[in-house]
Amino acid sequence: MSDTNAVDVVDLDFSYAKLHGLDPVPVLEGVNLTLARGSRCLIIGANGAGKSTLLQILAGKRLTRSSAKVLGAEVFFNTPKGVTYLGTEWATNPVVRSDLEVSHFLDSVGGYRYKERRDKLLDILDVDLSWHMHQVSDGERRRVQIVSGLMAPWDLLLLDEVTVDLDVLVRSRLLDWLREETETRQATIVYATHIFDGIDSWPTHLSHIQLGSTLPPSPLAWPLSPADAESLLPESVRVRMDDPNRRGSKLLEVALHWLVEDRKKRVEKEIADLGREKRGAQEANISSEAFYRKYDYSH
Ligand SMILES: Nc1ncnc2c1ncn2[C@@H]1O[C@H](COP(=O)(O)OP(=O)(O)OP(=O)(O)O)[C@@H](O)[C@H]1O
């Protein structure tokens, strides 16, 4: 086994290209993430924080000026074999919504080469080979995507919230199998999710992205050491984490605390930049209100 890290990202910046003549806005700034092989890292952050962008960079899909090493190689220029990325956009591709039988679809993407893993995944994800892709539900289509994406053995798996539409039994069985893959083959997983219940014992690390930057330490070892909990979390959150009657998992308490902090930071930034909050209810726009009062046909 190679002794290089699975992921080596230090001080990474990224902006999307200039749009409509406007200057590019930095989306990631000062992102750090170093993961040893065999890690299972959750990426946690608000909508728009930059999680998907980071996963796409790690998959070699986006060019950055910064270094982004994956399995020992600069990923954009020299994408190593063994990097698998699963994102939500797959399900909107017209090909996977056409009249195609699942067994044919899986063979067309190499299923016959990985029979043992394919069959195991078919059981875990409870997939019927005779389903037709244009007749399945969103969750069933997602299960087929996961089988097709995970059949070939991978060394680094990048999961962008593809478990959101799985039922809880299938999600839990899948996460157990993924854990086994990291423990038996030293494969590595980076998983961006907004669902934190039922997975307290799954990750080995967390990485918190706030407004495009990872907050140190990134990654943070999980479960938290008493020293990390003491230095990173306020007492109120630590008390809730230890409360057997808390509303959800320990991880959910940490994520909620981080998201509240993220929102506060974002509002502070908006007030500093614009003198007001940008989102939510705003003062009425008098001219448009006058217009719609006159031409509102809804009543
Ligand atoms: N193709 C694009 N062009 C320009 N800006 C983009 C593009 N894709 C994403 N962004 C912006 O980059 C920021 C980060 O988006 P990203 O999709 O990485 O966030 P995320 O953390 O994955 O969010 P979510 O939890 O909603 O999936 C957002 O402000 C978004 O508007």
The answer to the question of residue 171 being in a domain is: no
Between 27 and 19, the more confident residue is: 27
Q: Tell whether 122 and 209 lie within a shared domain.
A: no
The answer to the question of residue 128 being in a domain is: yes
Q: SS3 of 262, please?
A: helix
With a 6 A CB cut-off, is 52 part of the ligand 1 pocket?
yes
> pLDDT tens, 211-234?
999 999 999 999 999 999 999 999
Per-residue model confidence (pLDDT) at position 2: 59
pTM of the model: 0.92
Q: What confidence category does residue 292 fall into, taking pLDDT thresholds of 50, 70 and 90?
A: confident
Q: What confidence category does residue 25 fall into, taking pLDDT thresholds of 50, 70 and 90?
A: confident
Q: Tell whether 67 and 114 lie within a shared domain.
A: no
With a 6 A CB cut-off, is 51 part of the ligand 1 pocket?
yes
| Structural domain boundaries, residue 104 | 83-152
Tokens of 290: 């006058």
The answer to the question of residue 148 being in a domain is: yes
Cis peptide before 223 (omega within 30 of 0): yes
Per-residue model confidence (pLDDT) at position 291: 76
Q: Tell whether 261 and 124 lie within a shared domain.
A: no
> pLDDT tens, 258-289?
999 999 999 999 999 888 888 887 776 667 77
Length of the chain in residues, anyone?
299
Q: Tell whether 39 and 117 lie within a shared domain.
A: no
Q: Tell whether 91 and 78 lie within a shared domain.
A: no
Q: Give, using CA atoms, the residue closest to atom 27 of ligand 1.
A: 47
Per-residue model confidence (pLDDT) at position 189: 98
Q: Is 29 left (phi over 0), alpha (psi -120 to 50) or beta?
A: beta
The answer to the question of residue 173 being in a domain is: no
Q: Rounded to an integer, what distance in angstroms lies between the CA atom of residue 142 and that of residue 145? A: 5
Per-residue model confidence (pLDDT) at position 286: 67
Closest to 123 measured CA to CA, from 101, 93, 146: 146
With a 6 A CB cut-off, is 47 part of the ligand 1 pocket?
yes
Percent of the chain whose predicted confidence (pLDDT) is above 90: 75
Q: Rounded to an integer, what distance in angstroms lies between the CA atom of residue 294 and that of residue 288? A: 10
What integer is the mean pLDDT of 148-177?
A: 95
The answer to the question of residue 179 being in a domain is: no
Number of H helices, E strands in the chain: 9, 11
Q: Tell whether 128 and 159 lie within a shared domain.
A: no
Residue 89 Cα, ligand 1 centroid: separation in angstroms? 13
Q: Give, using CA atoms, the residue closest to atom 24 of ligand 1.
A: 47
The answer to the question of residue 192 being in a domain is: yes
| Average predicted confidence (pLDDT) for the chain | 92
With a 6 A CB cut-off, is 45 part of the ligand 1 pocket?
yes
> pLDDT tens, 230-251?
999 999 999 999 999 888 899 9
Among 130, 152, 174, identify where a domain stops. 152
Residue 133 has pLDDT above 70, yes or no: yes
Q: Tell whether 73 and 162 lie within a shared domain.
A: yes
Contact between 28 and 12 (Cβ < 8 Å)? yes
Contact between 133 and 100 (Cβ < 8 Å)? yes
Q: Rounded to an integer, what distance in angstroms lies between the CA atom of residue 94 and that of residue 136? A: 14
CATH number of the domain enclosing 23: 3.40.50.300
Q: Tell whether 15 and 138 lie within a shared domain.
A: no
Between 62 and 89, the more confident residue is: 62
Burial 82-96 (b: 16+ CB within 10 A, else e): bbbbbbeebeeeeeb
The answer to the question of residue 178 being in a domain is: no
Residue 54 Cα, ligand 1 centroid: separation in angstroms? 10
Per-residue model confidence (pLDDT) at position 92: 79
Q: Tell whether 234 and 208 lie within a shared domain.
A: yes
Residue 47 Cα, ligand 1 centroid: separation in angstroms? 8
> Looking at this protein, which amino acid is placed at residue 197?
D
Per-residue model confidence (pLDDT) at position 299: 64
Per-residue model confidence (pLDDT) at position 256: 96
What integer is the mean pLDDT of 60-69?
A: 93
The atom of ligand 1 lying closest to the CA of 53 is: 18
Q: Rounded to an integer, what distance in angstroms lies between the CA atom of residue 109 and that of residue 112? A: 9
Rounded to 5 degrees, φ, ψ at 5 are: -65, 155
Q: Tell whether 44 and 192 lie within a shared domain.
A: yes
Tokens of 110: 């190499």
With a 6 A CB cut-off, is 112 part of the ligand 1 pocket?
no
Q: How many domains does the chain have?
A: 2
Contacts of 13 (CB under 8 A, 6+ apart): 26, 28, 29, 30, 31, 64, 65, 66
Residue whose tokens read 């902006």: 15
The answer to the question of residue 121 being in a domain is: yes
Rounded (5°) CA angle 255-270-42: 20
Q: SS3 of 45, please?
A: coil
Q: Tell whether 288 and 247 lie within a shared domain.
A: yes
Per-residue model confidence (pLDDT) at position 88: 86
Q: Tell whether 73 and 192 lie within a shared domain.
A: yes
Per-residue CA distances from 274 to 47, 268, 278 (Å): 21, 10, 8
Range in 9-18, 66-75, 92-101, 130-139 the model is least confident about: 92-101
With a 6 A CB cut-off, is 204 part of the ligand 1 pocket?
no
With a 6 A CB cut-off, is 16 part of the ligand 1 pocket?
yes
Per-residue model confidence (pLDDT) at position 283: 73
Tokens of 191: 């998983």
What integer is the mean pLDDT of 146-170?
A: 94
